[in-house]
């Protein structure tokens, strides 16, 4: 969804372009969709868990209107200074989701729009995809970060479904691969 700082109102939920299409493609290919999100607004007292659940209900409703859905949402309610194990970039919620949902992290992908998403995915042992249409990002930053960089979730789904694994496996104009993993 469009990033809204401390989203405390379900009416602010707006899907990103390509999100529903990407999720539909991944589901058709047999992937499970799990959302992992930091929600320090709870720890800061800006909103409560019931409000967050209403935001997630609205997100699910908007996705379902477009024929898409997700399997689960895991969230960290803590503030950054709490130094918990569940707040990205730490992999705690990824590990919990993998255990509870029987997900093989080594054959999974982490998609996110921030470096902390990439760091959490790496720490959990997944391949990583940075979703960014920032044309100002330098090649050096990209090479030291995610396995792939794409412009939207639909393009990320194309990378995943195609089985792209590294250099020479490009499938889209914005995709830049990091390196082959051993």
Mean local confidence (pLDDT), 24-28: 96
> Can you read off the two tokens belonging to residue 33?
């969709």
Cα end-to-end span (Å), the chain: 34
Distance CA 101, CA 145 (A): 27
Q: Please give the mean pLDDT across all residues of the chain.
A: 86
pLDDT tier at 123 (50, 70, 90 boundaries)? very high
Provide the whole-model pTM: 0.84
Which residues does residue 110 pair with via DSSP β-bridges, in sequence order? 128
Mean local confidence (pLDDT), 45-58: 97
Above 60 in pLDDT, residue 61? Answer: yes
pLDDT of amino acid 114: 93
Distance CA 112, CA 38 (A): 12
Could you give the C-alpha distances from 167 to 2, 103, 176, 177, 181, in angstroms and in order? 30, 26, 8, 5, 10
**Every domain of the chain and the residues it spans:** 10-162
CATH 3.40.50.1000 fits 10-162, yes or no: yes
**Do strands 34-38 and 127-131 pair parallel, antiparallel, or not at all (unpaired)?**
unpaired
Residues of 7-33 as b/e, b for ≥16 C-beta within 10 angstroms? bbebeebebeebbbbbbbbbbeeebeb
């Amino acid at each position: 969804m469009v990033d809204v700082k401390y989203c405390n109102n379900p009416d602010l939920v707006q899907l990103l372009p390509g999100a529903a299409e990407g999720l539909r493609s991944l589901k058709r290919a047999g992937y499970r969709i799990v959302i992992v999100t930091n929600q320090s607004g709870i720890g800061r007292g800006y909103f409560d868990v019931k409000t967050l659940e209403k935001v997630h209900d609205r997100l699910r409703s908007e996705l379902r209107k477009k024929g898409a859905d997700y399997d689960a949402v895991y969230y960290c309610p803590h503030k950054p200074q709490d130094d918990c194990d569940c707040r990205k970039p730490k992999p705690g919620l990824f590990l919990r989701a993998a255990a509870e949902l029987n997900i093989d992290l080594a054959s999974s992908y982490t998609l996110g729009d921030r470096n902390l998403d990439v760091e959490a995915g790496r720490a959990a042992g997944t391949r990583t995809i940075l979703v960014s249409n920032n044309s100002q990002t330098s090649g050096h930053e990209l090479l030291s970060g995610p396995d792939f960089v794409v412009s939207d979730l639909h393009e990320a789904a194309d990378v995943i479904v195609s089985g792209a694994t590294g250099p020479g496996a490009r499938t889209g104009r914005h995709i830049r691969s990091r390196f082959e993993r051993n």
